[in-house]
Amino acid sequence: MHIARELFIRILAGAAVLWAAASLAFAILQLFPSDPVQVIYGADSSVTPELRDAIRADFGLDQPVLVQYQRFVTRIAQGDLGISYQQRRTVTSIIGSEIGSTLTLASLAVLAAVVMAFLASLLTAGRKSWLRRVLSSFELLSVSTPVLWVGILLLTFFSFQWQLFPVVADGGWRSLVLPVATLAVAVFGSLSQVMREEMDRALEQPFILTARTRGLSEWAIRWRHALGHALIPAITISTETFGGLLAGSIVTEQVFGRPGLGRITLEAITNHDIPVVMGIVLFVAFVFVVLNILADLLYRLVDPRLRVSTR
Amino acid sequence: MHLLTVEDLSVSFPGSVAVRGLSFSVDAGQCVAIVGESGSGKSVTARTLVGLAGDNATVTARNLRLGDKDLRQLSPSQWRSVRGRHIGFVLQDALVSLDPLKTIGSEIAEALTQHVDLSRKEARQKVLDLLASVGIPDPQERVGQYAHQLSGGLRQRALIASAIAADPALLIADEPTTALDVIVQAQVLSLLRDMKAKGTGLILISHDLAVVASLADHIIVLKDGAVVEAGSPDRIFSDPQAPYTRALLAAIPSATTKGRKLTADTPPSTSSDAPGRREDGIALEARALIKRLGSRLAVDHVTLTLRTGETLGLVGASGSGKTTLARLLLGLQQPDRGEVTLRGQSWSGLSERQRRPLRPRIQLVSQDPLGSFDPRYRVMDIIAEALEIAGAPKSDWRARAAELILSVGLSEAHLYRRPRQLSGGQRQRVAIARALAMEPEILICDEPVSALDVSTQAQVLDLLDDLKKQFGLTVLFISHDLGVVHHVSDRVMVMHAGKIVEEGPVDEIFLNPRAAYTRELLAALPRLPTHRPFATHESRNDRTGRDTLSVSA
C-alpha cells in the first residue's frame, strides 16, 4: 500500500520537474533576442513568406503568449516534441531513430563498469594485496584521464596498430567494443573507488565479526554480507552516469563516428535547429526523472531500513 | 576433561601485548566471567578463542583445547567448522552486530546451514524453534523482520539465537547486555542462565562486576592483559585481594556510595564550599507537557520542577520518553501542550531568535559525545566555538580553554587532539568542558555515562559532582541505570511510557517504592551479592588503592 502511494507521489513530483523544464525551455525561446521564426527555422535565410506564415500559424505565434504557453505544454504532455523544419521531420522521430544506438552504448558501458567494479571490490576490499594497489592506481588513472584521450588511445592501438576492431562504426558488434570500453573505463574508476570504500567500511562492522563467528568463509562474508552495503552508492552512481551517458556521449560518439543522441545534439546546436535542441533537453529531463524514480525503488529493494515509511 | 582448557595464553600485536599468561578452564554447565575495563584484553581473549584475533596477532599458549581438539593446530578451514558449530559467539549491541540488510531469520538460518545439512523447510522450522527458545514472541512474524524493526532486547535475543543455532557446547558472550536497559538486561541474563542450566558452557565478558555476579561460577579480573585476581564470586565479592578489584567494586555506583567519591584518585574538589552565585528558588519548571510523536504520546502530562542547586534524577527504560522530555526542556522541540519556564520567564513560548541569547544558561551533555563533535575540529576549536557563542572576547579564548580543560581533569596537550584521538571518558570530559564554557546555570545530562565502562563512569561521575559544587550547577540527570541515579541525585522521577509514575527524595523512592514499575526496575537491577565492608572512605584513600585506576579515562 505504502510503496504504491509513495511511487505515485514520486511520479507527480517527476511530472512537476518536467513541467518546470518545459516552462524554462519555453521562456528561453520567448526571450531569445531574435525573430522566433528565424530561431525555429535556423540560419537558412531562403525561407519563403508562405513557409514563414505556415510556421507562425503552426506555432500560434500570432496568439498571446499565455495561449502559446498553454498549447506548448499541452503538446509536450501528449509526447509531441514539435517539428524540425530544417530536417522536415518530427523531433520525436529524430530522437527515436538515434536513441537506439546511444542506449546500446550507454547500457553496455554501465553494465561493464558495474560488473568490473563489483569484481574489483569483492576481490580487494578489506585487503592490502598487490591487486588492490594495481586496481586503485588504475582507478585513479581512469578518473583523471579525459574520455577523449582514452578513446584516442584505444583507437590508436586496437584499430590502427593491431587492427582488431574497426575504426568507424559499421553496425556490427565489433564496432561497439572500443566505444563501450572507453566509456566503461571512465565509469569504472569512480564506481569502483566508492564501492570498495563502502565495502571496506562494511567489513569493519561488528555484524561481519558475528558472521565470521558463525564459521562463514571469507568469500561468503563478502558475497552475502559486505556486498549489499556497497550497492546503495553503486545504484546512485550507475543510474546517474547512465543518464549522463545518454545525454552526453557526444565526444565518444564523435571519436568513433557513431550515430546517436550526442551527434544529433551537436548538429542541432551548430545548425541552430532549436526544436531539436529543445526536444533533446526535455527528453533528457524525462530520462533523469525516470532514472531517479528507478534508483529510489532500487534503494528500497536493497536496504530494508528505507522501506519504513517516514512518519 | 574440561570443555575448554586455556593454559598460559598470550596474545600480542606489533608493539603491544594484549593478553599475558591467561589460564582457566570451562566445564559444561559452568560460567566463567572475565571482567575488566576497556583495553584490559578481555575482548581480545574472546576473539582469540574463536581464532579471530586478527592477522597481525601473535597467539601463544601452552595448552589451548576444546574438548580433545587442539585449537593451536587448526587450519583456517578447520577453524570455520569450529566457529558456530562448537563455539557460539554473542557480541554486544545487536543493532550493529546483526546485518541491517538481512532478516533475522536468514541470519539465524545462515548459522544453521553452515554446519548442519538441512532442507529449506527443516531449516525454517528450526529457526522458528530457536526464536521461540530464546523467548521471542510471535516467531512466525518476527522471522521475516530486520534488526531495526526489533527492540534492543529482541535483537539481543535474536543474536543469541544465531549463536546457538548449531547447538555449540560453549557460548562466549562479549558484553551481551551493555547496550540494554536494566529490565531487558535482566531478561537476557536470565536467558543465559537457562542455557547454562541446560549444560552449555559459558564465558561471560563484562566491564561490570555486578552484571556477572549472579551468573558466574568463576571470576577472572583482568587488567592490562594480566590476571589481577581470580576466584569464586563469593570470595571475590566478600574478600577482594587485589587493590584493582576493590577499586572496580568501589566504582559501582549505588545507594551505599551516595555522597562519596567512586574513585580514589580524583583530585579533591578545588573549592569545597559552593560559591552560591545563583539566587535560590526554581531554576526550570515544566507544566503539563504533552508531546506526541507519530501515534505515540512520548511525553504525557509531565510536570517537573528543577530547584536551584539540586540534582534531579530522571530514570526510565529506553523508549520511556526521557530524551524527548530533555529536548522539550532544552527548547529543541516544542511541546504540543504545556509550558516550560526558565527562572520564571517564558522559555518554550519564545521564538528561537528570542531563545538563542538565553541558550548558554541551559546546556546539554549527551550520551555519545563523539557524535556531537565535528570530527575535523580539534578540542581547542570545539571549546572556542562555545566560548564565541557565550560572548567571550577572542583574546581570552586560549586562556579560558586551558582553564576549562584543566577543570575537567585533562591537560592542555589535549586541546590539540581531535575527538577520534580521545578515549570515551576523555571525550565525555571534553563535552562537559564545552558545556561549562557557556557558564550555564543548568546542565542537562542525558545518559552521560551509559557508553562508558564502570571505572571510567566512576571518574566522570566524580568529576560531575566536583564541578557541580565548584560552579553551583543545577543538574537534570537522565539515566536508565538506577545505581547511577541513586548515587548522584537528590530527588528522582521515574518515567514510564511518557508519564512520571513516581517522584520524591531518592532514598525514599528507591528504598520504599510505591509504583509497580519502580519496583520492577529495582528488581531488575543487578546487585552485588554482599555488602562491601572494604568500600569505606579510608580504605579507598590508602596508598594501595590510589594508583589502581588510571587518571585519564
CA distance linking residue B411 with residue B402, whole number of Å = 8
- Best A199, A203, A209, A213 member to test B by mutation, with max B CBs in 10 Å, is A213
A66 has a chain B CB within 8 A of its CB: no
Task: Tell me: pLDDT of B1 over 60.
Answer: yes
- Confidence class of residue A290 from pLDDT cuts 50, 70 and 90? very high
- Confidence class of residue B196 from pLDDT cuts 50, 70 and 90? very high
Q: What is the DSSP letter of A156?
A: I
Which residue has 563512569 as its cell numbers? B457
Task: Tell me: pLDDT of B187 over 60.
Answer: yes
A52 has a chain B CB within 8 A of its CB: no
Residues of chain B contacting A225 with CB distance shorter than 8 Å? 99, 101-102
Q: What share of chain A is helix, strand, coil (3-state, %, to 5)?
A: 80, 0, 20
A33 has a chain B CB within 8 A of its CB: no
For residues B249 and B237, the answer to whether their CB atoms sit within 8 Å is yes
Residues of chain B contacting A212 with CB distance shorter than 8 Å? 50, 52, 83
pLDDT of residue B8: 95
Q: What is the pLDDT of residues B201-238, one digit of tens each?
A: 999 999 888 889 889 999 999 999 999 999 999 999 88
B52 with A209: Cβ contact below 8 A: yes
Nearest to B437 by CA among B366, B363, B371: B363
Residues of chain A contacting B82 with CB distance shorter than 8 Å? 215
**Whole-complex ipTM:** 0.80
Q: Which of A206, A217, A224 sits opposite B97 (nearest CB)?
A: A206
Q: Which of B83, B93, B149 sits opposite A212 (nearest CB)?
A: B83
Q: What is the DSSP letter of B83?
A: B
Task: Determine phi and psi for A205, rounding to 5 degrees.
Answer: -75, 155
User: Smallest CA–CA separation between B216 and chain A, in Å?
Assistant: 23
Give one DSSP letter per residue of B167-230, joined into a string. --SEEEEESTTTTS-HHHHHHHHHHHHHHHHTT-EEEEEES-HHHHHTT-SEEEEEETTEEEEE
Task: Tell me: pLDDT of B264 over 50.
Answer: yes
User: Smallest CA–CA separation between A200 and chain B, in Å?
Assistant: 15
Count contacts between A and B (CB, < 8 Å): 82
Q: Which of residues 168-207 of A touch B (CB under 8 A)?
A: 205-207
Per-residue CA distances from B317 to B94, B137, B179, B425, B481 (Å): 17, 20, 12, 23, 9
pLDDT of residue B329: 95
Strand runs (DSSP E) across B27-163, as ranges?
31-35, 58-60, 63-66, 69-70, 87-90
User: Smallest CA–CA separation between A10 and chain B, in Å?
Assistant: 23
Q: Which of B85, B97, B100 sits opposite A215 (nearest CB)?
A: B85
Q: What is the pLDDT of residues B103-115, one digit of tens each?
A: 999 999 999 988 9
| Interior/surface letters B386-405, b for 16+ CB within 10 angstroms, e for the rest | bbeeeebeeeebeebbeebb
User: Smallest CA–CA separation between B244 and chain A, in Å?
Assistant: 30
A305 with B93: Cβ contact below 8 A: no
A304 with B111: Cβ contact below 8 A: no
A305 has a chain B CB within 8 A of its CB: yes
- Best A203, A204, A209, A210 member to test B by mutation, with max B CBs in 10 Å, is A210
- Confidence class of residue B505 from pLDDT cuts 50, 70 and 90? very high
Residues of chain A contacting B93 with CB distance shorter than 8 Å? 206
Residues of chain A contacting B294 with CB distance shorter than 8 Å? 311
A128 has a chain B CB within 8 A of its CB: no
pLDDT of residue B540: 38
Task: Tell me: pLDDT of A205 over 80.
Answer: yes
Task: Tell me: pLDDT of B289 over 90.
Answer: yes
CA distance linking residue B165 with residue B170, whole number of Å = 12
Q: DSSP 3-state assignment of B62?
A: coil
For range A211-223, the mean pLDDT: 92
Nearest to B362 by CA among B282, B419, B444: B444
- Measured between CA atoms, the residue of chain A closest to residue B54 is A209
A215 with B83: Cβ contact below 8 A: yes
- Confidence class of residue B362 from pLDDT cuts 50, 70 and 90? very high
pLDDT of residue B277: 46
**Which cell numbers in the block locate residue B327?**
529536548
Between β-strands B170-174 and B201-206, what pairing exists: parallel, antiparallel or unpaired? parallel
Task: Give all domains of chain B, ordered by start, each with its CATH number.
Answer: 1-86+171-181+201-239 (3.40.50.300), 94-167 (no CATH), 282-377+440-546 (3.40.50.300)
Give one DSSP letter per residue of B234-301, joined into a string. HHHHHS--SHHHHHHHHTS--GGGTTS-SSS-SPPPS-SS----SPSSEEEEEEEEEEEETTEEEEEE
Task: Tell me: pLDDT of A92 over 80.
Answer: yes
A305 with B148: Cβ contact below 8 A: yes
B96 with A305: Cβ contact below 8 A: no
- Best B91, B99, B116 member to test A by mutation, with max A CBs in 10 Å, is B99
Between β-strands B499-505 and B491-496, what pairing exists: parallel, antiparallel or unpaired? antiparallel
Q: What is the pLDDT of residues B405-431, one digit of tens each?
A: 998 989 999 999 998 888 888 899 999
Nearest to B437 by CA among B477, B395, B399: B399
B37: left (phi over 0), alpha (psi -120 to 50) or beta: beta
pLDDT of residue B265: 55
Architecture of domain A98-265: Orthogonal Bundle (1.10)
- Confidence class of residue B437 from pLDDT cuts 50, 70 and 90? very high
A211 with B110: Cβ contact below 8 A: yes
pLDDT of residue A248: 75
Q: Which of A214, A303, A311 sits opposite B162 (nearest CB)?
A: A214
**Which residues sit opposite B346 in a β-bridge?**
B341
pLDDT of residue A30: 78
Residues of chain B with a CB closer than 8 angstroms to some CB in chain A: 47, 50, 52, 77, 79-85, 87-89, 91, 93, 96-103, 110-111, 114-115, 146, 148-149, 159, 162-163, 165, 294-295
Residues of chain A contacting B162 with CB distance shorter than 8 Å? 210, 214
**pTM for this prediction:** 0.81
**Which residues sit opposite B155 in a β-bridge?**
none
For residues B139 and B132, the answer to whether their CB atoms sit within 8 Å is yes
Please state the separation of Cα B58 from the chain's center in Å.
30
For residues B475 and B489, the answer to whether their CB atoms sit within 8 Å is no
Give one DSSP letter per residue of B523-541, joined into a string. HHS---SS--TT-SHHHHT
User: Smallest CA–CA separation between B84 and chain A, in Å?
Assistant: 4
- Confidence class of residue B370 from pLDDT cuts 50, 70 and 90? confident
User: Smallest CA–CA separation between B295 and chain A, in Å?
Assistant: 9
- Confidence class of residue B38 from pLDDT cuts 50, 70 and 90? confident
With pLDDT > 70 as the criterion, what percentage of chain B qualifies? 92
- Measured between CA atoms, the residue of chain B closest to residue A202 is B99
Q: What is the pLDDT of residues A148-166, one digit of tens each?
A: 888 888 888 888 888 778 7
- Best A207, A222, A231, A310 member to test B by mutation, with max B CBs in 10 Å, is A207
- Measured between CA atoms, the residue of chain A closest to residue B174 is A210
pLDDT of residue B546: 36
Residues of chain B contacting A303 with CB distance shorter than 8 Å? 100-101
For range A28-53, the mean pLDDT: 68
Q: What is the pLDDT of residues A259-272, one digit of tens each?
A: 888 888 888 888 87
**Which cell numbers in the block locate residue B449?**
555515562
